[in-house]
Amino acid sequence: MAILLGALMPDFTKLPVYGLHIGNWEVIKAPEPWMYHRGWPGSGPTHSLVAGIVAACLVYVVTRSKPWGAGILIGYWSHVLTDTADSVGTMMFFPFTTQHYSFGMWQYASQEGRYGDAAAYFSSLGWAWDVLWIVLVLVLARKALTAEYFHTSVEPADPFWGVLERRFHLSAHVRRAVFRAYMVYGAARVVSWFLWARFLNPDRGVETMDLSWTGPDWVQVPPRFQVASTWGGFAVVTIIGIVGTAATAAVAWHAMKRLPEQLPRDAHPVVGAERQ
């Protein structure tokens, strides 16, 4: 659950990208969605490795749980790294550089609005990317969805499930359902949005399927963000970013090691004696 939460965190500030619609009113809408979402000034720093380190440290300070601290970091970094696959990319090494890192597999399309973005993503290599991960889970990691794996490997490692059992009295069946829920949601989301984009989208005649690199070609291309003008300059800022991020991680690691790891409440000997 910590990995899942960490993977969602970078987009917690995404509301102004599409805006909030109340009837015919459109509020909290960024005038340049791509700049707000991935740029600086804007919420672009949320899509950086250092932001993941900060989030993991804050969660560890609150929970004193190593699995949750590590899980938040893994999930957060997975989001930052995979978002480099689109044409805008991320400021991965912010604040040490504002260089954007992008592989340009598919066209960033938040400027097309919520439905235009969905049509673009699910008509491009973005859709193929999602399908790839679903196939990998079902073919190579289907054991991870079994009851045996959940109860022998997942529950003992993650205190979240013990909380659901002790405080909310959720049965083993319900806990397994919660564990599998996001996988089911993710697969359903990929299938349903693809079907909408290709068969129900009223603009599907123009917003066509395009599996070319950096497609679809019908998307309004946002202006390029800061990139180094030479390969030498790219290498320099990247090295600075790697060193700065590594130093931040080292400082955070040593700071967190100074904090005591708290035992679960039910396992504390004093509390147990008081109950007796």
CA–CA separation, 182 and 43 (whole Å): 26
pLDDT of residue 262: 65
Report whether pLDDT(276) > 80. Answer: no
Q: What is the pLDDT of residue 224?
A: 81
Higher-confidence residue of 229 and 253: namely: 253
Q: Which segment of 40-49, 118-127, 142-151, 261-270 scores lowest on mean pLDDT? A: 261-270
Q: Rounded CA gap, 269 and 135, in Å?
A: 46
- Domain residues for the domain of 35 are 2-275
Please report which confidence band the pLDDT of residue 266 belongs to, taking 50, 70 and 90 as the band edges: very low
Q: What is the pTM of this model?
A: 0.90
CA distances from 198 to 23, 96, 100, 194 (A): 27, 42, 31, 6
For the chain, what is the domain count? Answer: 1
Predicted local distance difference test score (pLDDT) of residue 161: 94
Span 80-86, mean pLDDT? Answer: 97
**Token pair of 126, please?**
């973005």
- The tokens for 257 are 């090691």
Rounded Cα distance between 139 and 165, Å, is: 30
Q: Does the structure show a pLDDT above 60 at 34?
A: yes
**pLDDT at 243 > cutoff 60:** yes
Cα separation, 229 vs 168, in Å, equals 56
Q: What is the pLDDT of residue 148?
A: 95
The residue with tokens 């250092």 is: 50
Percentage of residues in the chain having pLDDT higher than 70: 95
Cα–Cα distances (Å) from 4 to 62, 75, 83, 143, 214, in that order, read 18, 6, 16, 18, 27
Q: What angle do CA 210, 139, 173 make, to 5 degrees?
A: 115
pLDDT tens digits, one per residue of 204-221: 999 999 999 999 999 999
